[in-house]
Amino acid sequence: MRVGFIGFGEVAQTLASRLRSRGVEVVTSLEGRSPSTIERARTVGVTETSEEDVYSCPVVISAVTPGVALDAARRAGRHVRGIYVDINNISPETVRMASSLIEKGGFVDAAIMGSVRRKGADVRIIASGRDAEEFMKLNRYGLNIEARGREPGDASAIKMLRSSYTKGVSALLWETLTAAHRLGLEEDVLEMLEYTEGNDFRESAISRLKSSCIHARRRYEEMKEVQDMLAEVIDPVMPSCIMRIFEKLKDVEVSADADYRDVLDEALDAFL
Q: What is the CATH number of the domain that holds 206?
A: 1.10.1040.10
Are residues 73 and 182 located together in one domain of the fold? no
- Answer yes or no: are the C-beta atoms of 44 and 13 closer than 8 Å: yes
pLDDT at 225 over 90: no
Are residues 74 and 11 located together in one domain of the fold? yes
Q: What is the average pLDDT across 212-234? A: 91
Q: By C-alpha distance, which of 247, 198, 257 is closest to 222?
A: 247
Domain boundary among 98, 132, 151: 151
Calculate helix-pair angle for 238-249, 216-231, nearest 10 degrees.
170
Domain boundary among 131, 151, 171: 151
Are residues 170 and 236 located together in one domain of the fold? yes
Are residues 20 and 145 located together in one domain of the fold? yes
Q: By C-alpha distance, which of 56, 62, 96 is closest to 80?
A: 56
Are residues 228 and 114 located together in one domain of the fold? no
Are residues 138 and 187 located together in one domain of the fold? no
Are residues 58 and 192 located together in one domain of the fold? no
- Whole-prediction pTM: 0.86
Domains in the chain, number:
2
In angstroms, what CA-CA distances link 105 with 155, 162, 191, 265?
19, 29, 54, 52
In angstroms, what CA-CA distances link 264 with 22, 28, 193, 271?
44, 42, 17, 10
Instruction: HSE, CB side, 13 Å, CA atoms: give it for residue 155.
Output: 31
In angstroms, what CA-CA distances link 3 with 34, 81, 170?
21, 13, 36
- Answer yes or no: are the C-beta atoms of 49 and 56 closer than 8 Å: no
Are residues 70 and 139 located together in one domain of the fold? yes
140 vs 21: CA distance, rounded Å: 12
* Largest Cα–Cα separation, the chain: 62
| Domain extent at residue 22 | 2-151
pLDDT at 256 over 90: no
Give 188's DSSP letter.
H
Tens digit of each residue's pLDDT (9 = 90 or more) over 59-69: 999 999 888 99
Least confident of 52-56, 173-177, 199-203, 243-247: 199-203
Are residues 145 and 110 located together in one domain of the fold? yes
Are residues 146 and 24 located together in one domain of the fold? yes
Tens digit of each residue's pLDDT (9 = 90 or more) over 56-106: 999 999 999 888 999 999 999 999 999 999 999 888 999 999 999 999 999
- Answer yes or no: are the C-beta atoms of 170 and 118 closer than 8 Å: no
* CATH code of the domain in which 65 resides: 3.40.50.720
The sign of the dihedral angle between the CA atoms of 53, 142, 20, 154 is positive
Tens digit of each residue's pLDDT (9 = 90 or more) over 12-57: 999 999 999 999 999 999 998 889 889 999 999 999 999 999 999 9
pLDDT at 168 over 90: yes
110 vs 122: CA distance, rounded Å: 15
Domain boundary among 99, 123, 151: 151
